[in-house]
Structure 1
Amino acid sequence: MESPIFSKYSWLDFFFSVVGVCTYLFDVGSDIWVGTEFYSRGDFFWFGVLVGLMVLSSVVVQMFSWFWFKYDRELEGFDSQVDKNVLFGVCVKLSFILHVLQLGFFCRHVSAIWQGFRVWWRREEGSEYAVYLTHDLSMLRLIETFCESAPQLTLMTHIMLHTDRARAVQYVSVMASITSIAWMVVDYHRSLRSFLPDKAKQGWCSAFVYFLWNLLLIAPRVAAVALFSTVLPSLVAAHFLLIWPVLVFWAWRQQTDFMDSVGGEWLYRATVGLIWYFSWFNVAEGGTRWRSIIYHAFMATDGGILLVTWWCYRDPVATQAYAPVLLATLSLTYLMGLLLKTLYYCCFHPTLWRPRVRADGLGAELTDGQGMLFRTFTPPASVTPQVWNKRMASHATCFYYNAEVL
């Protein structure tokens, strides 16, 4: 029996789109506020670092958006879906200018909201296309989060630790970054689940556990890098440039196939390396257990080295009151995150089951106790290419894959 691929666009999808653009604007506004504060106080170095992170993140996101825009315009029948769209309805040259002006990502938000409003409020057709847009926004928000919010959170934590004081604007920036990361985690996971047959719903308990273990793993990583930077600030860039190429090489070895061009694929691998610097992100089909174990072992070792370095070079007098407690708390937090992640994948995570292949070439039958049988995330003949988001479908295949049933 064939399961539906898409659910209809709902008020909850519209709500997520509106909150997404509000979160984006709040994040940009807080960045501008922090930059203005640094500049007015004469902290030109921190101002330059902050602006550099903002520009780098924006450029990377706009590049992904532009690559996807060109691919989508080449799909057969795609123009019929976008005649009234804010971004995709304009000509290619005008869209290129919008991306150069760093407005492509914002226009995608507006496009998703407008399309969702037409579908949900006016009861017009185009539900599949509205879902298509939200899928791309989910991925772009993930990229924007780890290109800007995570590094900026590290920067703000470093400044607060280094100066031993914090202004209100710095607290706002930290909260904006945490909010952005938390919302991305939930939104991205929710978007991937829509590719499951019958759209397996995620309960509040499952969503909370998923959010919590990500937070408990990312927070100690950010704190470790920030603490290291307070004692050896000149070596932070060297540390990143030492780790990042290794992670990019690992992404290349996993033979990722996410983009539609060689240049776009290397951009994706470079971005994956940046995401891996802060958090685990599965990018290839196949058994994920050992890849995840290798990654967390590597990052735990690296984080331990950063914390030990901070302990050895710290000011014993200034940090005597909180250093032992902080060191123990960060270690226990990371361990708790790993335990919650294990609990999530044992009890809450839907698994992509595939039939075993026997010697005679026929698929082996699975008993009822083995769970749901998912085939592959490929569009059936009834689904047109312009509403099938193969990018997110590819990630869903990686995310919900269980190698042990192959």
Structure 2
Amino acid sequence: MMKFTKQDFIFLVGGIIIYVVDIGVDFWVASKYFCQGQYSWSILILSFRGLSSLITQVFSYEWFKNDWEGTDTGKLKWIFLVHLFQCGIFIRYWFALKYGCQAAFKQNSGGDASETDPPNFIQKQVIDVVTDINMLRVFKTFLETTPQLFVQIYILMEHSKNNFCQYAAIFMSFCGISISTVDYQVSLRKSLPDKDEFHVLSKLVYLFYKLFTITSWILSISLITLLSVRTSVILLIFLWICGFTWTLKQHTTFCKSMKMEYLYRTVVGIILIFTFFNIKGRKTNYCISIYYATHTVVTLGILLVYMFWKPSVIKGIDFIIVSILTVLSLVLGIIFLAVYYRRFHPTAYCRPQACSDEVDGEAEQKDRVKTSRFQNFIMQ
């Protein structure tokens, strides 16, 4: 297991600041739309915020219950109350700051201690806590930040009224997507012993791969929505059904209860609308090729429809700019995707999960859930 360093602690503090600022920007944007009489946009922005907050609080509380199983029930009641008021993430950040400060500043880095020694124990504590936070941030990114980014870009295309409020929201959305995807990969490498260290260059390549492919897809969906909101909704629902069905066939085992497992699969289905994730940690060259080939075909099809149909909902110069950005983002995203999997993707995967009908496999799976929840989470 890799160390939690001072640099990691600084990034943790930065993540807290961005999280708080993001909340403020959401309410600021919603209030601006409300004051302008655009109540539907205001409600939509707040709905994404409320839905993502509710789901992340549910997962956070369930993880606390699993981790504190057999401990004082009074603590769990207090934790439940905090999550009921949608503040569970701040409890997790408090634990992360507490353990992170001890691991990064108050411990000697020398020596090869065993896993039971206090230094390694603190290191494992802080990495586990930060990993849980990054899991929740991935949920938040694709339940709230990415849909909000899509809405903001659609509003700019439809009304062509640019203001600082909208640009601030779009900027915060891009920051949220970028930081959460990179932090997710960093946590993955730190949590799993058979993963290589995530160096600066590999972080940048991975960041650009995700950012460009997501940007291209969001622009494409925005163009569809300009043509027909109903068609856009039908497409998104169809994509979610495909993603949800794929998670069912993968037989994910992330949660202890089946209710939470189905909620998890529902969330993963939403994530798969916007980007590809390998939910079982297995080699998926075939699946990822089909995924992005489909996105490429749909994106090019949308641009061809606009090129030949020339609908009046978008001006010629606007279409040229949007189409160039869409194609450029798609090409760059595919290039960074190929470079990442060719040069920077870890060749060592997690231990293959045994079949569920083997007794030893079941016991081993339970041990993995207890020791590292991240081993059953979505992996890239």
Tell me whether the two structures share a fold, i.e. TM-score over 0.5. Answer: yes
How do 1:1-400 residues align onto structure 2 when only pairs under 5 Å count? 6-74=1-69, 91-123=75-107, 126-197=122-193, 200-311=196-307, 315-316=311-312, 319-352=315-348, 388-389=371-372, 391-395=373-377, 398-399=379-380
Q: Once the two structures are aligned, what percentage of the paired residues are identical?
A: 27
Structure 2 Cα separation of the partners of residues 129 and 175 of structure 1:
33
Whether the aligned pair in 1 keeps the contact of 2:219 and 2:322 (CA below 8 Å) is no
Note the alpha carbon deviations across 1:174-220, whole angstroms, 9 max, x for none. 00000000001111111111135486322222211111111110101
Tell me the TM-score normalized by structure 2. Answer: 0.85
CA offset at residue 324 of structure 1?
3.6
Q: CA 1:90–1:133 in structure 2 vs 1: closer, same or farther (change >3 Å)?
A: farther
Q: CA 1:135–1:353 in structure 2 vs 1: closer, same or farther (change >3 Å)?
A: closer
Structure 2 Cα separation of the partners of residues 171 and 354 of structure 1:
41
Note the alpha carbon deviations across 1:77-116, whole angstroms, 9 max, x for none. xx6xxxxxxxx99611121121121111222122211222
Q: CA 1:210–1:318 in structure 2 vs 1: closer, same or farther (change >3 Å)?
A: closer
Structure 2 Cα separation of the partners of residues 355 and 130 of structure 1:
24
Bigger helix share = 2
Whether the aligned pair in 2 keeps the contact of 1:7 and 1:199 (CA below 8 Å) is no
Tell me the TM-score normalized by structure 1. Answer: 0.80
Whether the aligned pair in 2 keeps the contact of 1:231 and 1:314 (CA below 8 Å) is no
Structure 2 Cα separation of the partners of residues 34 and 143 of structure 1:
21
CA offset at residue 307 of structure 1?
3.8
CA offset at residue 306 of structure 1?
3.9
Structure 1 Cα separation of the partners of residues 251 and 212 of structure 2:
29
CA offset at residue 291 of structure 1?
1.1
Q: CA 1:329–1:46 in structure 2 vs 1: closer, same or farther (change >3 Å)?
A: closer
Q: CA 1:133–1:265 in structure 2 vs 1: closer, same or farther (change >3 Å)?
A: same
Tell me the C-alpha RMSD between the 2 structures.
Answer: 2.8
Equivalent AA in structure 2 for residue 214 of structure 1? K
| SS class of match (1:321) | helix
Unmatched 5+ stretches in structure 2: 108-117, 353-363
Match of 2:115 in 1: none
Unmatched 5+ stretches in structure 1: 1-5, 80-87, 357-377, 400-406
Structure 2 Cα separation of the partners of residues 108 and 89 of structure 1:
18
Range with greater deviation from structure 2 (195-204 or 16-25): 195-204
Structure 2 Cα separation of the partners of residues 104 and 52 of structure 1:
19
Q: CA 1:347–1:196 in structure 2 vs 1: closer, same or farther (change >3 Å)?
A: same
Whether the aligned pair in 1 keeps the contact of 2:3 and 2:190 (CA below 8 Å) is no
Range with greater deviation from structure 2 (279-288 or 149-158): 279-288
Structure 2 Cα separation of the partners of residues 300 and 233 of structure 1:
21
CA offset at residue 311 of structure 1?
4.8
| SS class of match (1:247) | helix
